[in-house]
């Protein structure tokens, strides 16, 4: 029996979903962009904020905050299923795209939020894909720097002060 997902109104969540069999479903720019388009469409259907994100080859990370009355599970189910359908159609595949159900953890404390925010920024650096976090094209830091707020939302002013190295990119 699966464990119940911890949910809390107004909470920020660290969410991760991995591809089935660690297949590189997000390995090409085309698929990363397709995934971003699905997220953008989800934002027109559901009320939620993405404070930071990173799309890697076989998984992604979000810091997401569902809006009042929204369900994290429903938002993620929509994103994952819409992408799976589009991926299978574009690739000529059938069957499962995502592995086990998505991971989610409530970020209870500011320290947790800051740690996960930085971890997400540094994910492509740790993987050896870029030298600096802001160089990763498929992450919140780079997109905020470029003024692209289709996926990532502008950080609230109270949060900007915690990222002095990146203030020039994150100002509201």
pLDDT tens-digit series, residues 7-62: 788 899 999 999 999 899 999 999 999 999 999 999 999 999 999 999 999 999 99
CA angle (146, 163, 64) in 5-degree steps: 70
Instruction: Give the chain's domain count.
Output: 1
Q: In the block, which residue shows the tokens 């969540």?
A: 13
- Write the DSSP symbol of residue 19: B
Residue 24 lies in a domain: yes
Residue 1 lies in a domain: no
Domain span at 143:
13-170
Residue 2 lies in a domain: no
In tens, the pLDDT along 54-78 reads 999 999 999 999 999 999 999 999 9
Residue 106 lies in a domain: yes
CATH number for the domain harbouring residue 20: 3.30.70.1290
Cβ-based burial of 5 (10 A; exposed 0-12, middle 13-18, buried ≥19): middle
Residue 39 lies in a domain: yes
Read off φ and ψ for residue 69, nearest 5 degrees. 80, 0
pLDDT band, residue 6 (cuts 50/70/90) = confident
CB 23 within 8 A of CB 58: yes
Residue 7 lies in a domain: no
């Amino acid at each position: 029996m699966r464990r119940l997902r911890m949910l809390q109104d107004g909470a920020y969540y660290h969410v991760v979903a991995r591809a089935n069999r660690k297949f590189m479903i997000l390995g090409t720019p085309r698929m990363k962009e397709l995934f971003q388009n699905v997220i953008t469409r989800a934002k027109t259907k559901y009320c939620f904020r993405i404070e930071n994100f990173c799309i890697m080859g076989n998984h992604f990370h979000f810091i997401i905050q569902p809006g009042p009355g929204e369900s994290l599970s429903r938002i993620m189910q929509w994103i994952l299923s819409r992408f799976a359908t589009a991926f299978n159609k574009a690739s000529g595949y059938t069957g499962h795209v995502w592995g086990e159900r998505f991971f989610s953890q409530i970020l209870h404390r500011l320290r947790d939020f800051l740690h996960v925010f930085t971890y997400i920024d540094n994910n492509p650096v740790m993987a050896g894909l870029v030298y600096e976090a802001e160089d990763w094209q498929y992450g919140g830091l780079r997109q905020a720097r470029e003024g692209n707020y289709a996926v990532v939302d502008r950080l609230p002013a109270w949060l900007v002060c915690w990222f002095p190295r990146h203030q020039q990119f994150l100002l509201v």
